[in-house]
Amino acid sequence: MAIEFIDLPPVLSATGTVRLPGSKSISNRVLLLAALAEGTTEVRDLLESDDTARMLEALHALGVRIDAQGGNAYLVHGTGGVFPVKDTQLFLGNAGTAFRSLTAALALAGGRYTLTGVPRMHERPIGDLVDALRELGADVTYGGKEGFPPLELRPASKPSGGLVHVRGNVSSQFLTGLLMAAPLSGVETTIEVVGELISRPYIEISLAIMARFGVNVVQDGGQRFVVPAGAKYHSPRVIHVEGDASSASYFLALGAIGGGPVRIEGVGRNSIQGDVRFAEALESMGACVVLSDNWIEVSAPPGGKLRALDLDCNHIPDAAMTLATTALFAEGTTTLSNIASWRVKETDRIAAMATELRKLGARVDDGNDFIRITPPKVVATPPQGIDTYDDHRMAMCFSLASLATTVRINDPACVAKTFPNYFELFATVTQPVPVIAIDGPSASGKGTVAARVAAALGWHYLDSGALYRLTAVAARRAGVAWDDEAGVAAIAAGLDVVFGENSISLAGEDVGDAIRQEEISVGASKVAALPAVRAALLFRQRLFRQAPGLVADGRDMGTVIFPHAPLKVYLWASAQCRAERRHKQLISKGISANISTLLADLEARDARDMNRATAPLKPAEDSLQLDSSEMTIEEVVAQVLSWWQERQPFDRS
């Protein structure tokens, strides 16, 4: 089942070391050239992702033998430029590097091939590449809309090779495809770029890898490329895939924003990837950057605050997206220009980035080839979350917003395209705002204990039960029955609540006493059993997690709301003991009460809470259980504080 969203907690700081996955751009280029080469190539550190999976599947369908060696290593048995399978259909998902390069190679391979992808791939233009291939004699027709996939490829109608022209201002992958396919023609092929060549560093990656396989391209000023006659790919025997420099950008930005140092391993100053220059952009923003041959380390500026920049991003087209979210933490207005290629990526990235940044409160101006970001004074928290548009880089870029607030990332699984374990690694180098979760049955004393623990630590306090009581009160006043799930959920989603130091207001009215009535407590238990109500209040509760820390009490704080809380306490006492405590409490306030009735109510509430289908009351597996039946409040508070102290890596006193 697909994960709808992930809620990233607010981050206090970032520090640590990350080993990068292999570069997507290098991985798919290496796989194709290894398949076209003479001899067997051992490819090491290949990226394991959706995009490389599509390339591996396609090569297998074309008859290329590929043996998995374990540990992201593969033996590719080259075909000498002749694919064994001459008639097949290939599905390439939304893998642009695979689709464009295979289109060029198969157009000159003398077979009958159909290339398709996901709907978004069929919206990504490919007409410039097709026009260039037709200049070379290729027989390519569109299976749908002119200028867009899917494509039908047939054996060339005339000898391939010679002079070909291709526009350079839409996608560098068109030129890359032509360059890598050109040796298949057997004759000298000259490729002239019409107009400005965008994303030039990706062309340098292609040329460097072609050279590793024995084909050296002569270039003239970056606008004219000559592939010599008789050029053939030969296996280098072993080739290592560099770490992905685009993926490095998220962690380098973490170091710049979150204090650092954060070190990424697998790519360094000698990288063939242009996106490694992202570190230079961070340095221009004031970050402290250290480069080695195989790692880069970034820390925040000495003063802790980044400054805005105005940057032509032609040299870092993918990594530039990370600068857009980094701009939320910079002083001044950041302008990123020469990014027209964003429009034709996995989504229209300029439009998507502008939309989502505005959700966070930023002022954004955008045009055909630029985006301008002015950060808000306080980063907003959109309850609907950040939409990712089935674009891996959108999901990873907006994870940085967690350095300011709780952020919900919708469809987080889209990172599988290039970085399947991104969020796991993100968690290893970030220090979230700490939470102590205190759960337990009604009248166990958890609210009093949690409030006192929060006061002792100087942290924020969340009485989750108050939210359900407020929902019950609001529903009653609106004439909505407590068992009307849809109606109560709608009320919960729109609660107008303000928590003061010693007060709770609902729609501007102090309801601190009203929500403590026994009837409302019963109503709270009933509405809390409704899945839609719990879903409506989930994100709202997580928003209480703010620096320096949070103590939260309820019935599912440790199991559902804060499942990764570093300390979880399950506080309980016998029903008889709890009834006696509640009786004393009510009598002290001048409220008449019958202990037998209180006991029956508590037992019924316990049964309802423990047996509800959604988030039943139970101890978290890693919770510490505490029977308070024979303990004073002071003793319980002292025990919780002691447990918290034991979890600290060093004495903080």
What is the Cα–Cα distance from 243 to 82, expressed in whole angstroms? 30
Tokens of 645: 């102290």
Give catalytic status of residue 463 as yes or no.
no
Find residue 379's DSSP bridge partners: none
What is the Cα–Cα distance from 157 to 169, expressed in whole angstroms? 29
Handedness of CA 190, 194, 196, 201 (dihedral sign): negative
What is the Cα–Cα distance from 178 to 271, expressed in whole angstroms? 23
Q: Are 104 and 172 in contact (CB under 8 A)?
A: no
What is the Cα–Cα distance from 287 to 14, expressed in whole angstroms? 14
Other beta carbons within 10 Å of 538: 17
Instruction: Report the chain's C-alpha Rg in angstroms.
Output: 30
Q: Are 523 and 476 in contact (CB under 8 A)?
A: yes
Out of 318, 391, 463, 556, the active site residue is 318
Tokens of 437: 């979760």
Other beta carbons within 10 Å of 169: 17
Tell me the angle at which helices 531-542 and 485-493 cross, rounded to the nearest 10 degrees.
10
Tokens of 322: 């990370």
4 SS3 class = coil
For residue 152, how far is the Cα from the chain centroid?
35
Can you give 252-277 as a three-state secondary structure string?
HHHHHHHEEEEEEECCCCCCCCHHHH
DSSP H or E run through 534: helix 531-542
- Which amino acid belongs to residue 267? V
The residues annotated with a catalytic role in the active site are 318
